[in-house]
Every structure is written in structure tokens, then in C-alpha cells.
């Protein structure tokens, strides 16, 4: 067996999601090769070579891979996939965009967002927003898989010494071009890899009130998230959204503030180790999954929490 992991990176650093995907690859077994497709991406390839457990890095460095466009990356994955038993990518907006395109070109039925490896052919994945867990077996010659990153620990980013080999670029498809991006810049940890997450819901009432959560987040070294209701109401940008249709998180501590606990939100955070809910409605469904529930007005409780953390 041999596994090809399609790395997510920004040309200089490897995204944490790639490390979780390497762990899933290790659970499948066999040699692990990491593909770094980028432009001016030598630093990312070198970082990939240091990941513990990786035996080889394939580095395709060309202008058409600068922004990870699926139309360019998928044919590269397809060209390299022969010779591997499995092709894995993180189930992030990058992996979800690229991998099904490669799977269709390989005539393979992809297995999306696995949360467990049973054996080399059999995997567990959540369906119906995590309300059911399906165990599926693939008979395709190459298994094409995206990985729910919160379900696998991160591989160590240091300790490996894989060889970096150049891979031939496949050219620009000419179908799409990158125009630009508006990325949220924050000093806080990334939502999906943070050890602590504090999220606000509709109960926050407006975007300005999220400053209260940011204050607590900074004291805890936490990331700030939001429910779909808060994003749809325009309180915070879309990349804050935790839930089935947003990001799936599983931190050590998840603090839900003014969030009722709709199924779609729970699907995105119920695998957190410890859940705290602060809500003035004691009937709110969030309390059914919370380890510690505080029935209180968040406009009193959150400032009090901030103060208590100083003590």
C-alpha cells in the first residue's frame, strides 16, 4: 500500500489540516508521499519533508499552481495517482474543491470526509450532518478520500527527513483564473486547529458585541467562532461559522455563548472535549450537550468571565 496526500499550503507553510491528513494516511498504512503543488513553494515542500512519517515529497512548482485552482491541480493529482493505492486530501475548502474533480477523472467514487479508518478498503464517515455514521467499503482500484481533520490527531511537523522530488507540471487549463481574495487577518489561532474556541450566536445581538468574546478569547488564547444564525444576520464574516455547513471543530474547550444549539451547529462542535454553554434560555438544546451549563444573561456573564480569568 502507498498513500498520496495532497497537501494544503500557502506556498510557504503547510496548513495544519495537512498534518491531520498524514495521520489518517498512517492509519491506512504503507508509504506516505506528500504532493506539494504550488508556485514559489520550496519552503512548503521543505516543511512537508519534515513531517513525521512522510517518506517522500513530490513537488510540482509552477505558476498555474499558485492559487490551488482545481482545474489545474486535479489533472496533476490524476497523473500521479497511478502507483498509489489511496489519494487523500483534507476535507477543507481546498480539498473539497479539488479532490472530487480528480476522482471523477479517475472514474472513482470518492469517499468524503472520513472520520475513521477500519481497514485499507473500509472507512467510517458521518452522514445527515453527523446524525448517523456510515461504514462504507470501496472496491475502486484507487481509493480517493477526503479526511475530517478533527477526527485525526496532527502528525508531528518536525522529525521527518523525506526526500523532495520534482514532479512535472501539467500546464494551465485556461478554464478559470484567480482574481483575488479577502482573507480575514487575525492574531488569534485558526478556528479549526485552536485548543479553545469561544463562539457567539444570535443572542449576541450585533457584530460589535463580539468584542466581548474577543476579549475573553485573547485571555484564553482562543479562536472566535459563530453560529450560522450570527453569520446570516451579518454579525461576523462567513469564515467564523461553526457547523455542518461551516467549519467542523473539536477543541479541548468549546464555549457557546448565546447559541441555542440547532442540529446544524451541534454537528460542527459536538466532538469538542469539554463544552460550556452560556444561554439565558434554560430550555435551549445546547445544554443537552454541554458539560457545564450556565443559565445567565450573556451580557452579564461574559464580562464577568473576562474579569474572573484575570483573577
Under the binding rule (CB under 8 A), the answer on residue 39 touching another protein is: no
Tell me if 266 sits within 8 A of 131, measured CB to CB. Answer: no
List the one residue from 140, 172, 215, 218 that touches another protein (CB under 8 A).
140
3-state secondary structure 191-211: HHHCCEEEEECHHHCCCCCHH
Kindly tell me which of 161 and 178 has the beta carbon lying closer to another protein: 178
260 DSSP assignment? -
Contact yes or no for 14/47 (Cβ under 8 A): yes
Report if residue 283 touches another protein, rule: CB under 8 A: no
* Rounded Cα gap, residues 234 and 162, in angstroms: 45
Question: Which of positions 159-218 make contact with another protein (CB under 8 A)?
Answer: 173-184, 192, 196
Q: Looking at beta carbons only, is 35 or 298 nearer to another protein?
A: 298
> Least Å distance between CB 285 and another protein?
10
- Choose, by CB under 8 A, the member of 13, 63, 171, 292 that binds another protein: 292
Say how far residue 155 (Cα) sits from the centre of its chain. 14
Contacting residues for 107 by C-beta, under 8 A, at least 6 apart: none
Binding mask 93-122 for another protein (x = CB under 8 A): xx-xxxxxxxxxx-xxxxxxx--------x
Site membership for another protein, residue 233 (CB under 8 A) = no
Query: In this complex, which beta carbon is closest to another protein, that of residue 162 or of residue 254?
Result: 254
Shortest distance, position 294 Cβ to another protein, whole Å: 5
Closest CA to 73 of 57, 85, 89, 86: 89
Candidate residues 153, 163, 238, 297; the one interacting with another protein per rule CB under 8 A:
238
Check residue 152 for interaction with another protein (CB under 8 A). Answer: no
Pair 43, 12: CB distance under 8 Å: yes
Distance of CA 259 to the CA centre of its chain: 22
Residue among 71, 214, 215, 218 that touches another protein (CB under 8 A):
71
Amino acid at each position: 500500500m502507498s498513500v498520496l496526500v495532497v497537501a494544503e499550503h500557502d506556498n510557504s507553510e503547510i496548513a495544519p489540516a495537512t498534518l491531520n491528513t498524514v495521520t489518517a494516511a498512517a492509519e491506512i498504512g504503507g508509504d506516505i508521499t506528500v504532493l506539494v503543488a504550488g508556485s514559489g513553494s520550496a519552503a512548503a515542500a521543505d516543511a512537508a519533508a519534515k513531517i513525521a512519517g512522510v517518506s517522500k515529497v513530490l513537488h510540482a512548482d509552477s505558476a498555474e499552481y499558485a492559487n490551488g485552482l482545481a482545474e489545474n491541480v486535479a489533472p496533476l493529482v490524476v497523473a500521479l495517482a497511478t502507483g498509489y493505492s489511496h489519494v487523500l486530501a483534507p476535507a477543507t475548502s481546498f480539498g473539497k474543491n479539488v479532490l472530487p474533480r480528480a476522482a471523477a477523472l479517475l472514474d472513482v467514487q470518492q469517499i468524503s470526509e472520513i472520520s475513521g479508518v477500519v481497514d485499507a478498503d473500509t472507512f467510517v464517515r458521518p452522514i445527515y450532518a453527523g446524525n448517523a455514521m456510515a461504514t462504507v467499503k470501496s472496491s475502486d482500484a484507487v481509493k480517493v478520500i477526503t479526511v475530517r481533520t478533527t477526527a485525526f490527531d496532527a502528525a508531528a511537523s518536525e522529525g521527518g527527513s523525506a526526500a523532495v522530488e520534482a514532479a512535472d507540471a501539467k500546464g494551465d487549463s485556461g478554464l478559470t483564473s484567480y482574481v483575488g481574495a479577502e482573507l480575514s487577518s487575525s492574531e488569534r489561532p485558526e478556528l479549526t486547529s485552536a485548543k479553545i474556541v469561544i463562539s457567539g450566536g444570535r443572542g449576541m445581538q450585533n457584530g460589535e458585541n463580539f468584542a466581548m468574546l474577543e476579549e475573553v478569547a485573547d485571555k484564553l488564547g482562543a479562536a472566535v467562532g459563530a453560529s450560522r444564525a450570527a453569520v446570516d444576520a451579518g454579525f461576523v464574516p462567513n469564515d467564523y461559522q461553526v457547523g455542518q455547513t461551516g467549519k467542523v471543530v473539536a477543541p479541548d474547550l468549546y464555549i457557546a455563548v448565546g447559541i441555542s444549539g440547532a442540529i446544524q451547529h451541534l454537528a460542527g462542535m459536538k466532538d469538542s472535549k469539554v463544552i460550556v454553554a452560556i444561554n439565558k434560555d434554560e430550555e435551549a438544546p445546547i445544554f443537552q450537550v454541554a458539560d457545564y451549563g450556565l443559565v445567565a444573561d450573556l451580557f452579564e456573564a461574559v464580562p464577568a468571565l473576562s474579569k474572573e480569568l484575570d483573577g
